[in-house]
Amino acid sequence: MSETLDLLRRHRAGLDSAANELFLRHSATALEIVRARLRRDNPLRAAMESQDVLQEAFGKAHAGLDRLQLHEEGQFIDWLARIIENTIRDVARTQGRMKRDPSRASPLDGVAEQVAATPSPSAVAMGVELAERYATALEGLDDAAREAILLRQHAGCSYRHVADALGLVTEAQARAAVSRALATLAERMDVAR
């Protein structure tokens, strides 16, 4: 059984710390997804921090954790990515209606602070310069290519899942889409040197 599925099972069995462990385990990947969604050209980026989106998304995810049904590891990140996308949409609507109220923010048992203090594994492994080139190149991809990379490379989803998410019929089409997206990403990273 995967660690994600085990943590979810332990949470349902009443172990209070299991949910925090689950979110902490996936926090770096979730933060990368938030940052990819809040691209530099997104007007929301100036109005809110990636950590704020992550905290709000984790709160919504925590509320729905008991209803979540998973069959494979990658489904958790895909579910979390949809919550992040919906959170960004909700914030966009709210920003259009009223000013942000800082008194509504509340910590999720220290998870946000731990995420903020911990560099993502990819940033540590690739180095700051390479990570910046990667993020810039990823932001420059079209939505379908970026989604293909986020689902397969970041979330570890199966090609079947990538195909379903992108509206493709076969896994072979998903493999081709991921391959094209990675080739385009590599070209953009090479140009950014």
What are the start-end ranges of the E strands in 48-187? Answer: none
Closest listed residue to residue 132, CA positions, set 144, 122, 141, 142: 122
The fold of the 120-193 domain, in CATH, is: Arc Repressor Mutant, subunit A (1.10.10)
Q: Is the pLDDT of residue 86 over 80?
A: yes
Task: Assign 126 a pLDDT band (cuts: 50, 70, 90).
Answer: very low
Q: What is the DSSP letter of 170?
A: S
Q: What is the pLDDT of residues 58-80, one digit of tens each?
A: 888 888 888 888 777 778 888 88
Contacts of residue 53, defined as CB under 8 A and 6 or more positions apart, other chains included, come to 34, 37, 38, 84, 87, 88, 91
Q: Indicate the pLDDT class of residue 95, thresholds 50, 70 and 90.
A: low
Thinking of the domain 1-118, which architecture would CATH place it in?
Orthogonal Bundle (1.10)
Place 192 in a pLDDT band, splitting at 50, 70 and 90: low
What does the longest C-alpha to C-alpha distance in the chain come to? 51
For residue 139, with 0-12 CB atoms within 10 Å meaning exposed, 13-18 middle and 19 or more buried, which class applies? middle
Q: What is the pLDDT of residue 172?
A: 94
- What average pLDDT does this structure show over 11-35? 83
Which residues of the chain are in CATH 1.10.1740.10 domains? 1-118
Domain with CATH 1.10.10.10 in the chain: 120-193
What is the band of 169 on the pLDDT scale with cuts at 50, 70, 90? very high
pTM: 0.56
Contacts of 107 (CB under 8 A, 6+ apart): 55, 113
Q: Which has the closest alpha carbon to 182: 32, 85, 190?
A: 190
